[in-house]
Amino acid sequence: MSLTQNIIRPDILALSAYHVPDASGFVKLDAMENPYQLPADLRAELGRRLAEVAMNRYPIPSYTELKRRICERLGVPAGFDVVLGNGSDELITILSVACAKPGAKVLAPVPGFVMYEMSAKLAGLGFVGVPLKPDFALDLDAMLAAIAREKPAIVYLAYPNNPTANLFDEAAMVAILRAVGDSGIVVVDEAYQPFAQASFMPRLPEFSNLVVMRTVSKLGLAGIRLGYLSASPELLVEFEKVRPPYNVNVLTQAAAEFVLEHSDILDAQAAQLREERSRLAQALTATGAAEVFPSAANFLLIRLKTGKIGANDLFSALLKQKVLVKNVGKMHPLLENCLRVTVGTPEENRIFLDAFVASLAM
């Protein structure tokens, strides 16, 4: 046997690494990023602020000031605190490790965010995927049956969901919270909340098993890698035990504190992207070649309707025109012939639409 076969877990050997394609030189519409930077004057001021950071010192691990600003500016209910992560990915890892009792399971609707399953497997948890309905709504009966059968330690509900972009029915989510009860936690992942304008964060006082997770990535700060979650004080105490003490670096901390002083800029950018989302959806629908699914996120899920070209060929044709979107057709049977397209600037959206129409004629 080889060295890796001798020392690496068999389930790890069987996994594939999370692949991020090189987007150099492309119109990048594959990763749900905010395409807008901060205004020039704020970037200059941020540069001065970062120059003052003591990079020779470890961060103060309590992150008191940053957490205070997040709670104050981002709608965390009074009396609730947050746990910080190096992006939502680390928060998902923290939850997995904290809940990884022998035989414990994670449950989530599928198709959904791939890191729920990957993180569960890396932590030694079982993963149970419950298919959505063909219109991407929650199959509540199937979810409740799976919860009763599997008794999961963690249930993930993305609100809105990635890659389908829709908001699940609120009453169905409440039914799931009640069905799980005190046997597990229900994590409502609100990564795209700025574009959905709907949230379970205000409902934290109602449910002791509710965890609300967010990220500043989609707001326009993907590069600094900062996520946060809130839950009951009892749960946060346990999650903090798993969090690495210096997991948020001093530059991320300083940048986030600065930008939160100007959160109105991010709110305005989110509003602009919501408008662009509507325009892009209308333009794609007008081509007659794509079914555009309702979106509460900063991306659109589309299904090719024309018989002349499928999603795989269209994806390749767009690549040749230096436009990068996400081909999600292989993720799940419900996503057959589908592409996911990030909403960009008006110019980026125009380039994509021109390339889309040109690709149909190839």
The architecture of the domain spanning 56-262 is: 3-Layer(aba) Sandwich (3.40)
The per-residue pLDDT for range 66-104, each reduced to its tens digit, is 999 999 999 999 999 999 999 999 999 999 999 999 999
Query: Which residue type occupies 156?
Result: Y
* pLDDT (mean) for 256-283: 96
What gap in Å lies between CA 276 and CA 280, rounded to an integer? 6
What gap in Å lies between CA 67 and CA 270, rounded to an integer? 22
Confidence of residue 11 (pLDDT cuts 50, 70, 90): confident
Query: Which residue type occupies 104?
Result: A
The architecture of the domain spanning 3-38+264-360 is: Alpha-Beta Complex (3.90)
Q: Give backbone dihedrals phi and psi of 316, rounded to 5 degrees, phi first.
A: -65, -40
pLDDT at 17: 76
Residue 129, C-beta contacts closer than 8 angstroms, at least 6 positions apart? 107, 108, 109, 110, 112, 117
* Closest to 254 in 3D by CA, of 59, 6, 108: 59
Which range has the worst mean pLDDT, 28-37, 88-97, 127-136, 308-317?
A: 308-317
The segment(s) of the chain belonging to CATH 3.90.1150.10 are 3-38+264-360
Q: Where are the beta strands (DSSP E) in the chain?
A: 27-28, 83-85, 105-110, 126-131, 154-158, 185-189, 210-215, 227-230, 290-292, 299-304, 323-324, 326-327, 338-342
Q: Where are the beta strands (DSSP E) in 64-209?
A: 83-85, 105-110, 126-131, 154-158, 185-189
Contact 160, 167 (CB under 8 A): yes
Would you say how long the chain is, in residues?
A: 362
Q: Could you give the percent of the chain with pLDDT greater than 70?
A: 100
pLDDT at 352: 98
Q: How far apart are the first and last CA of the chain?
A: 50
The segment(s) of the chain belonging to CATH 3.40.640.10 are 56-262
What gap in Å lies between CA 329 and CA 335, rounded to an integer? 5
